[in-house]
Structure 1
Amino acid sequence: MGTAKTFILLAMLTALFMAIGYLVGGMLGMTVAFVVAAGMNAFSYWNADKIVLKMQGARELTPETMTPMLRTFANDVASLAERAGLPTPKVYIIETPQPNAFATGRDPSHAAVAATTGLLGMLTREEVSGVMAHELAHVGNRDTLTMTITATIAGAIGMLANFALFFGRDRNGLIGSLAIMIIAPIAAGLVQMAISRSREYVADARGAEICGNPLWLASALEKIERGARASVNVQAERNPAMAHMYISNPLSGRGADNLFSTHPTTASRVAALRRMAGDQMSASTDDATPARRAAGPWG
């Protein structure tokens, strides 16, 4: 995402935050909201990975706590990062049966990737490689900073809107407070949508290049969608403003590619990846990449 577009989107969220502050508390409320928003932007910049990882209940993999499978997983992430020309990120695990993953951090040198236990339990090693390559693509494209700061401010907007019902009655009346509660989260969601939808296609394409086979990621996306419908990600449901950070929408009942979805449809993403695989096959049918030779199913 270009620097100018990133600035505009974040400015929109900050302005929305200030507008709600004005409706709740007048000029004083707007001033307080501006100070809070500026502080949140600064704090998020330096602590993006810590904020998101803690809220999602992620734990870092260390040599002392790794099982053989997790060690293989961490080694695969390191190999993919090297192939992508990136520093090796910190690797985290989230205890939830729902298959999913995300990346965070202010830049490639301070990045982290997280996968759920459901992802490792449901997908093959090749498919997991496709997913983590997608997340590394977000890191390389520097999407993670914008996505994390947006998640932080959008979450605060939702909380501020809820406070409006209890603290804004004298100024706006019950109807005005209810309007704030309804409109503010929708507006924040629209900005999230603008950030993540186009970037998912870009990260899919780059991730396919990193792992060496677009079909691995295509197959993974289909399994993740089925798994997301079958199980609930409790941490994500508690913090819905962070849904756009995951490779696939972790919120229950949001599979459709409609106005309020944070992701393109899985079908559209898979179709693009299959076209990419077809183009590669047409260009060369006998050139096996290192990724195809290296990976295999979980042992």
Structure 2
Amino acid sequence: MMRILLFLGTNLAVILVASITLRLLGVDAYLSQNGMNMTGLLIFCFIFGMAGSVVSLFISKWMAKRSTGTVVIETPSNATEKWLLDTVAELARDAGIKTPEVGIFPAQQSNAFATGWKKDDALVAVSAGLLNRMKPEEIRAVLAHEIGHVANGDMVTLALIQGVLNTFVMFFARVVAQVVDSFLRKDDNGGLGFFGYFAVVIVAEIVFGLIASAIVAWFSRFREYRADAAGASLAGSGAMINALARLKAETQMPDQMPDTLTAFAITTGQSRRLMEKLFASHPPLDERIRALKEAAYRQ
């Protein structure tokens, strides 16, 4: 549950910082004094709502390397690293994208992630535990899954969706505050006042932010199925299924992935509670395995 709280907290923090900025710049006061200009409000919310997502996207590789301790393989120092580079290059060629940077991060749990601001400037990294315990064909399937994320443009799409949702969270929170202020106002007196208006905005943003986070999580789960399908296409359905089964067996191990990269990892364990399922970035591994088996049966 702590992972879910951190995920929601990060997203809401972006919105709240943008809201404080709007308040300090006098945008809220101007709109309140001069009537609700929907077009102007939407433009301001779009600028601030998208800013955090776009900046995060552009620095995603840098953040990933620093937060996970990923070491990019420039020149392979052993046979395993050379195989890793050659395999990623082969999979990227088959997927029709430029070969991403390849790295290894020091986590004992088998895991991997992909990030980057565009398809031809990405990073694919695997954990040391994955390299130590998985079979080569299973590692190849995991790499294919991550290449699938890159080829599908999932990093860009996720950032854009988050930015758009942030825009509407900020927008509708101010509409709600304006409606409440108008309801309480009599002639030129009453109303929420400066601090009351801001408090209503913050509460509304938290409520709408939770809804937006659930939508982002739903999309994240959807794209995991797409990446699994891409991994099965590139590395074979059997290998992809075996890799997910191996990951399932390790779900009880301590998770070494930073919460900021949860949505980009290949696994985050099994979610059983309702709230965890609603805000989980990944579907349960059993469901992912079942989807792959059903797709293989239909072929």
Q: Does 1:218 align with 2:230?
A: no
Q: Which moved more, 1:34-43 or 1:95-104?
A: 34-43
Partner of 2:55: 43
Correspondence list, 1:260-275, <5 A? 260-275=279-294
Distance 1:35 1:142, change over 3 A: closer
Q: 1:62 aligns with which of 74, 77, 90?
A: 74
Between the two proteins, what is the percent identity of the paired residues? 26
Counterpart code for 1:266: L
Residue 39 (structure 1) shift: 3.7
CA distance in 1, matches of 2:200, 2:81: 51
CA distance in 2, matches of 1:184, 1:139: 30
The DSSP-based 3-state class of the residue aligned with 2:279 is coil
Correspondence list, 1:115-264, <5 A? 115-147=126-158, 171=195, 183=207, 186-187=210-211, 189-211=213-235, 213-233=236-256, 235-237=257-259, 239=260, 242-249=261-268, 254=271, 258-264=277-283
The DSSP-based 3-state class of the residue aligned with 1:248 is coil
Partner of 1:72: 83
Question: Structure 1: any 5+ residue segments left out of the alignment?
Answer: 1-12, 155-169, 281-299
Distance 1:142 1:74, change over 3 A: same
Q: Which moved more, 1:183-192 or 1:49-58?
A: 183-192
Residue 112 (structure 1) shift: 1.2
The alignment's TM-score, normalised by the length of structure 1, stands at: 0.67
CA distance in 1, matches of 2:12, 2:107: 35
Partner of 2:108: 97
The alignment's TM-score, normalised by the length of structure 2, stands at: 0.67
Cα pair 2:12 2:209 within 8 Å, conserved:
no
CA distance in 1, matches of 2:251, 2:161: 23
CA distance in 1, matches of 2:18, 2:26: 5
CA distance in 1, matches of 2:157, 2:150: 11
Residue 96 (structure 1) shift: 0.5
The DSSP-based 3-state class of the residue aligned with 2:277 is coil
Counterpart code for 2:75: P
Distance 1:122 1:141, change over 3 A: same
CA distance in 2, matches of 1:80, 1:147: 23
CA RMSD of aligned residues (A): 3.8
Cα displacement string for residues 147-195 of structure 1 (whole angstroms, at most 9, x for unaligned residues): 35778999xxxxxxxxxxxxxxx946xx989968975774453133122
Counterpart code for 2:258: A
Counterpart code for 1:209: S
Cα pair 1:91 1:112 within 8 Å, conserved:
yes
CA distance in 2, matches of 1:15, 1:236: 18
The DSSP-based 3-state class of the residue aligned with 2:251 is helix
Counterpart code for 1:121: N
The DSSP-based 3-state class of the residue aligned with 1:88 is coil
Q: Which moved more, 1:128-137 or 1:220-229?
A: 220-229
Cα pair 2:50 2:163 within 8 Å, conserved:
no
CA distance in 2, matches of 1:279, 1:215: 14
- Whichever of the two has the greater Rg, that structure is 2
Partner of 1:9: none
The DSSP-based 3-state class of the residue aligned with 2:266 is coil
Cα pair 1:225 1:266 within 8 Å, conserved:
yes
Counterpart code for 2:251: A
Counterpart code for 1:247: I
Question: Structure 2: any 5+ residue segments left out of the alignment?
Answer: 1-9, 29-43, 166-193
